[in-house]
Amino acid sequence: MGDSQPKRIEERLARELGLALILLALALVQVTLLTGPAGFSIPLLLVLAIARALVGAGTAEPVRGLMRGLWWAFYGGVALDLLSTMPLGSHALAHLLAVAVVGLAARRFAVERPLVPLLAVAFGTVIYEATLALIVLPAIGDWQTYALIVVLPSVLLALIPTLPVVAMIHRLARAGG
């Protein structure tokens, strides 16, 4: 009778460690294989975290999906921080802010419609890029140029995997993930 609680904690820790390692591997893929010649990469970890936060939105358990999405954002952000030259915590903070805002805003919508995840990822990517810019380049004078040169390509690249990733996350969540 006393063995059930420690086993449960160990299983939960193992599951979280496994998730963190999977997201670290995906961060390696993002920064190496998904980077184009201009230096832009598909923000796969951000799309995954937003998709996870959207799962459960509009259902009886919207908070659970949002909380899991925030954990994914944190793990993915830390993984990107470990692989980048930016200040430690910048990607994690940007991921958390983007997923929190998008996840809270999406609670009112039916996520099954394709337009909702696309808009959520586009809006989340704008928040992510703006947060990184404020952390790393606080004295940007020309935000319009920054938006055209950095934010717009990042949003367009983020939209590419959005619908397949959202469908995959929905299937995983239904299977118990």
What are the extents of the domains in the chain? 4-174
Residue 100's pLDDT is 96
Distance CA 67, CA 75 (A): 12
Residue at 81: amino acid letter:
D
pTM for the complete prediction?
0.88
Q: Which two tokens stand for residue 77?
A: 């952000």
Residue 109's pLDDT is 76
Distance CA 169, CA 175 (A): 10
Distance CA 169, CA 150 (A): 27
Residue 86's pLDDT is 87
Q: Which of 16, 42, 32, 13 is nearest to 153 (CA)?
A: 42
* pLDDT (tens place) for every residue of the chain, 177 residues total: 455 555 688 888 999 999 999 999 999 999 988 887 777 889 999 999 999 999 866 556 668 888 999 999 999 999 999 998 888 999 999 999 999 999 999 877 767 778 999 999 999 999 999 999 988 877 777 788 888 888 999 999 999 999 999 999 888 877 765
Distance CA 83, CA 32 (A): 10
